Amino acid sequence: MTALTLSTSAAPGLRADAIVIGVAKGAKGPVVAPGAEAVDKAYDGKLADVLETLGSSGAEGELTKLPAPAGFKSPLVIAAGLGAEPDAGAGYDAEALRRAAGVAARTLNGAKKAAFALPVEDAAAVGAIAEGVLLGAYSFDVYKDNGGNGKAKNGKAPLAEGVLLGGKPRDAAHKAALARATAVCEELNRARDLINTPPNDLTPAAFAALAQGAAKEHGLKIQILDDKALAKDGYGGILGVGVGSAAPPRLVKLSYTSPKADKHLAFVGKGITYDSGGISLKPAGHNETMKCDMSGAAAVFAAVVSAARLGLKVNVTGWLALAENMPSGSAVRPGDVLRMYSGKTVEVLNTDAEGRLVLADALWAASAEKPDAIVDVATLTGAMMLALGSRTFGIMANDDAFRASIHEAAEEVGEPAWPMPLPEHLRKGMDSPTADIANMGERMGGGLVAGLFLREFVGEGITWAHLDIAGPAFNEGGPFGYTPKGGTGSAVRTLVRLAELTAEGDLG
């Protein structure tokens, strides 16, 4: 990952591959954003005109490259669009900074060093720019032929070094913002790696082994239930989904405890390392990206490790429900009845509705510890994608205030999310003539039906929310802002923010 430092140096004397500046969309054309004064001065104060001549408007996502002025030690200036210029007195929006830094960092893949001269008004801006650079510079080329020399053949290794100009290396708040961004983005990028890793390599056992390594490194407690232990303890949901695969399931419990905590959060992640649909097989065209079906577990994993690295004053337990959903002679059939960990029976009407089965067992296990709140994260339904599109996750909950707090936390960190209801009338669609409940209900509102199913497996009186990240977890389109193609790390920053707010006593 890119190594970031703060510096109060002036841009002209800095030796780098490029200097990134901000350009905003003003009322009468592009406006050079604060932070780039020295650069503007070297263009005789005419940088905005130069940018306009080059076709720049300051729109979000826009990049304009121009040769650095005479006397500069760097050859290139890159102007990144920040969108509308803020009103007088108002600062630049954190998300605008994050995106502009991300777009610039992405174009700098392959470069050694770049300086970022973007508007730094406060520590929050330092954090946002750092996040944008660290997340934008991500690349996944583990599986590309690198010619055996450890270098990416196409020269697209992430930007090696970034200098944040205007960030004060001796300012405690600036330093803390950089350290926080570094810890969270490192874990978030690791989650992206897990999501992008092909399912023949990332089996449930392989995922659990990686969690074990991280637990050791960061002093977390870990407990891994293998298929034998799951059978012994009656985890019928996780076993039922995993029993068709040659790669057996796992339930991983990862605990971070702080001696100063008085709250306990449980995060539960759907970890289907590959979702073929099982006997209710997905047709071609619907299974090529289903390695992403463990994105919820990857997000939970990243969030728990982040909480530990940040030393948050809250206890956080992560539950990774890991299984591979495959068709085979031993696979669960439509019509089978599973006895879940909670004791309830479920008639499996569609083996492709597997996420709710593994989550049900993990939710019940999490409930036994009586945490203050449980949040589950899952690529659960195609219906949620139809409802909210590919960039927004849905939030359902058994508590309106908690749902609103999560929505607010998501907004704060720049993750698009939207509250969704749990309409009671949809519950009866899951009535089964044979078992306590069926794993499928009405087709209409399928994302909400899935939420209602999960609610049945949350312990009495426990505050719970469900994030359906089926849309934003995996970016099938081109990269945008600081979001790459492929695994995005959706929900990681929301979960970390939630843990921070809980630690600060601002939640629950």
Tokens 């405890």 sit at which residue? 257
Q: Let me know if 313 is a catalytic residue.
A: no
**Coil, helix or strand at residue 463:** strand
CB 326 within 8 A of CB 244: yes
Q: Which residue is nearest to ligand BES (CB)?
A: 382
Which CB, 19 or 454, lies closer to ligand BES? Answer: 454
User: Whole-angstrom Cα distance, residue 235 to residue 227?
Assistant: 9
Q: Which does 470 bind (CB under 5 to 8 A by kind): ligand BES, Zn ion, Mn ion, none?
A: ligand BES
User: Whole-angstrom Cα distance, residue 159 to residue 151?
Assistant: 13
- DSSP for residue 85: P
Which CB, 306 or 475, lies closer to ligand BES? Answer: 475
347 lines the binding site for Mn ion (CB under 5 A): no
User: Whole-angstrom Cα distance, residue 35 to residue 154?
Assistant: 33
Catalytic residue among 356, 403, 493, 497: 356
Of 270, 262, 238, the C-alpha closest to 470 is 270
- Please report, as ranges, the residues that interact with ligand BES according to CB under 6 A: 275, 293, 350, 352-355, 379-383, 385, 440, 446, 470
Which CB, 281 or 337, lies closer to Mn ion? Answer: 281
Which CB, 187 or 293, lies closer to ligand BES? Answer: 293
Q: For the chain, state the CA radius of gyration.
A: 24
> Could you say which residues in the range 217-276 bind Mn ion, by CB under 5 A?
275
> Could you say which residues in the range 350-369 bind Mn ion, by CB under 5 A?
352, 354
Q: Which does 381 bind (CB under 5 to 8 A by kind): ligand BES, Mn ion, Zn ion, none?
A: ligand BES
Query: 10 Å Cβ neighbour count for 84?
Result: 15
Q: Let me know if 98 is a catalytic residue.
A: no
Q: Name the minimum Å distance from CB 380 to ligand BES.
A: 6
Q: Name the minimum Å distance from CB 380 to Mn ion.
A: 9
Q: Name the minimum Å distance from CB 354 to Mn ion.
A: 5
Decide the pairing of beta strands 463-468 and 393-397.
Answer: antiparallel
Tokens 């309830």 sit at which residue? 344
Which CB, 323 or 492, lies closer to Zn ion? Answer: 323
40 lines the binding site for Mn ion (CB under 5 A): no
Q: Where does this chain touch Mn ion (CB under 5 A) — which range of 77-85, 138-146, 204-212, 349-357?
A: 349-357
User: Whole-angstrom Cα distance, residue 34 to residue 395?
Assistant: 37
Catalytic residue among 175, 282, 344, 485: 282
Q: Which string of DSSP letters, residue by residue, matches 34-56?
A: TT-HHHHHHTTT-HHHHHHHTT-
Active site residues: 282, 356
Q: Which residues bind Mn ion (CB under 5 A)?
A: 275, 352, 354
